[in-house]
Structure 1
Amino acid sequence: MNTEVTEKAPAKINLTLDVLYKRGDGYHELEMVMTSVDLADHVTLKTIEENSIIIQSNNGFLPLDQRNHAYKAALLIKERFNIQLGVEMMIKKNIPIAAGLGGGSSDAAATLRGLNQLWNLGLSLDELAILGAEVGSDVPYCIYGGTAFASGRGEKIEQLDAVPQCWVVLVKPKKGISTGTVFNALSYDTLKHPATYSMIAAIKEQDYLRMTKLIGNSLEETSIIRQPSIEKIKEKMISFGADAALMSGSGPTIFALCRKYSRAQRVYNGLKGFCNEVYLVRTLK
């Protein structure tokens, strides 16, 4: 039996996010195209004799108890497979917290993949994704990573070809934004719906230019009302030469896509003075 495993937990961006309607179970019916970027947390898992879950992190703002998705994932595995051992986890955070980049979900997915190895459970990725859906809506996508079409409340995953590789500048404004608040404030009559299936076709054809014209997020306008800085940052990104800019998830992080590294560098440098959380990364192959 392995005694220690480290898993990479990449961030994701939403190239499209469409809210179709509110379901009877209180969730929203969504259609999204997501892709992983090269900004990642690292989750190290160790088996301990004591039957408990201990989480440590380099980030003082991360909850280390039941509020943490990775904790929930570990608890689910222990209960479902009646495992009497404990686990000690070190989550090295590089992805900003509560940013719309799926950091918590990615940590949970890394925990499920890691414990599957650590405790020799022999589960397939598909089986891990089904478990992940019990932890959170974005966890199944994060189990697979890469580029994918997600539907339902986000738990139905269809893997796609990798997007044409490009540079991504991520900017997280200081003020957070609550996902619940954004969804509750949606006005369905005026929602803008991105062309999700055209986006899937553009990725299939590896048409980067078409892809940049098709990005869209139904939640963006509602989030901008609550946080106007999102609009300002998008405008700055475009003025510095980004090919496209969009809010990821329910925000508040905004990303810019750039084919050329020199452009990405210009966007990055231009925003560095304006916000303190700015990252320059690539899409993952």
Structure 2
Amino acid sequence: MRFRDIAWAKLNLTLEVLGRRGDGFHELRSLVAFAGAGDTVEFTPHISPGPRLVAQGAGAPVPPGVTLEVEGPFAGALAGANLMLEAAEAARARVPPCRPAPSGLVKALPVAAGLGGGSADAAAALRLLVAAGEGAFSAEDAGAIAPVLGSDVAVCLRSSPAMITGRGEKVAAVSGFPHCGVVLANPGVELATSAVYGALGAAPLDASPEALSEGAPPLDFGGSFEALIAYASARVNDLEPAARRLAPELGAVISALETLSGARLVRLSGSGATCFAVFATPREALRAAILLAEKAPDWWITAGILGNPRTP
């Protein structure tokens, strides 16, 4: 028996870099939502000892007895540590009886693309550990492990609209996020997050992280698409100028998205190189994605519902 979950693509609708912290991280404030596109993660409840196997593209060491098969259009781009396996090992360390382990990954999202792909994969792995762990591993355990694995894993664990602060590990729910559509476009360029932050050259943080978040009311869009657009349009992605210096191709992607009929917010997601356009309805987004794919057949392009793809 296998358990499956989708590692949904994370979009930073806004991303404010408030300063460089003393620990080397950057203090962030970002409105995050999830698109209806993602990788597929599979878990097998019981793993018996056997040979170690990593399929194409997955370069991380695999613990004895764990078989991880990686496929999909972006399997070959994976390299280095696999956060799914780290999630499984962290779960076993926290709850020794917890035996399920990742057995499959269909890598449908581009790598180093500003979509939180690795974090989303790890978050899906944690959700599956809860589902397949027969009570040994709880949602509380998953929540405790998530921020240790990476800055984005905590918000990806929920995969619902949120305001994230700190280095990204502090997650506050956003209410009333409207049902709308989004087009994602990536020109096939990989951008390392560390390189983009390095090119940003942010100034040191001039206030304590706690002081920056004090008194901030929770966001509630009341289901209004116009309220969402007004909020996001008044803010920016502070990483976009640095990313565009490192990858000038992004200018063409953003310009192409801006020409699509009905596009209301066009921006780079995270550190890139995926850009997005937000539309009032998923139908508008799908129509726009089809037209864009005809003009730019070499780009990775998809359309989806923006917000919380885990619920209808």
Fold shared per TM-score above 0.5? yes
1:92-241 equivalent positions in 2, closer than 5 A: 92-188=106-202, 201=219, 203-215=220-232, 216-241=236-261
Aligned to 1:192: none
> Secondary structure at the residue paired with 1:257?
strand
Query: Which sits farther off after the overlay, 55-64 or 6-15?
Result: 55-64
> Secondary structure at the residue paired with 1:251?
coil
Write the letter of the residue equivalent to 1:12: K
Q: Give the Å deviation of 1:263.
A: 3.8
In 1, Cα distance between equivalents of 2:36 and 2:275: 16
Write the letter of the residue equivalent to 2:95: F
> Secondary structure at the residue paired with 1:240?
coil
Root-mean-square deviation over aligned CA pairs: 2.5
Aligned to 2:8: 10
Q: Give the Å deviation of 1:120.
A: 2.6
Question: TM-score scaled to structure 2, two decimals?
Answer: 0.80
1:245 aligns with 2:266: yes
In 2, Cα distance between equivalents of 1:72 and 1:58: 19
In 1, Cα distance between equivalents of 2:157 and 2:42: 16
In 1, Cα distance between equivalents of 2:231 and 2:121: 29
Q: Give the Å deviation of 1:259.
A: 1.0
Q: Using the aligned pairs only, state the percent identity.
A: 28
Write the letter of the residue equivalent to 2:251: E
In 2, Cα distance between equivalents of 1:261 and 1:228: 29
CA contact (8 A) 1:129 1:140 kept: yes
Question: TM-score scaled to structure 1, two decimals?
Answer: 0.87
Write the letter of the residue equivalent to 1:280: A
CA contact (8 A) 1:146 1:162 kept: no
In 2, Cα distance between equivalents of 1:126 and 1:149: 20
Query: Which sits farther off after the overlay, 18-27 or 126-135?
Result: 126-135
1:58-69 equivalent positions in 2, closer than 5 A: 58-59=71-72, 60-61=75-76, 63=78, 67-69=81-83
Aligned to 1:80: 94
Q: Give the Å deviation of 1:27.
A: 1.0
CA contact (8 A) 1:43 1:111 kept: yes
Write the letter of the residue equivalent to 2:65: S
Structure 1 residues 124 and 52: CA distance shift in structure 2, 3 A: same
Structure 1 residues 217 and 126: CA distance shift in structure 2, 3 A: farther
> Which structure's residues are more often strand, by fraction?
1
In 1, Cα distance between equivalents of 2:217 and 2:277: 17
In 2, Cα distance between equivalents of 1:91 and 1:116: 18
Map Cα deviations across residues 168-220 of structure 1 (whole Å, 9 max, x no partner).
Answer: 1000111111110110111436xxxxxx999964x523332242244321101
CA contact (8 A) 2:67 2:102 kept: yes
> Secondary structure at the residue paired with 2:179?
coil
1:48 aligns with 2:69: no
Structure 2 portions without partners, runs of 5+: 50-63, 204-212
Structure 1 residues 42 and 266: CA distance shift in structure 2, 3 A: closer
In 1, Cα distance between equivalents of 2:181 and 2:248: 25
Structure 1 residues 245 and 81: CA distance shift in structure 2, 3 A: same
Structure 1 residues 115 and 218: CA distance shift in structure 2, 3 A: same
Q: Give the Å deviation of 1:158.
A: 1.0
CA contact (8 A) 1:53 1:74 kept: no
In 1, Cα distance between equivalents of 2:221 and 2:102: 41
1:25 aligns with 2:45: no
Structure 1 residues 232 and 210: CA distance shift in structure 2, 3 A: farther
In 2, Cα distance between equivalents of 1:12 and 1:36: 5
Write the letter of the residue equivalent to 1:49: S
In 2, Cα distance between equivalents of 1:162 and 1:29: 26
> Secondary structure at the residue paired with 2:110?
coil
> Secondary structure at the residue paired with 1:141?
helix
Query: Which sits farther off after the overlay, 4-13 or 116-125?
Result: 116-125
Aligned to 2:53: none
Q: How many residues of Structure 1 are paired with residues of Structure 2 in the alignment?
A: 275
In 2, Cα distance between equivalents of 1:262 and 1:106: 26
Aligned to 1:268: 289
> Secondary structure at the residue paired with 2:13?
strand
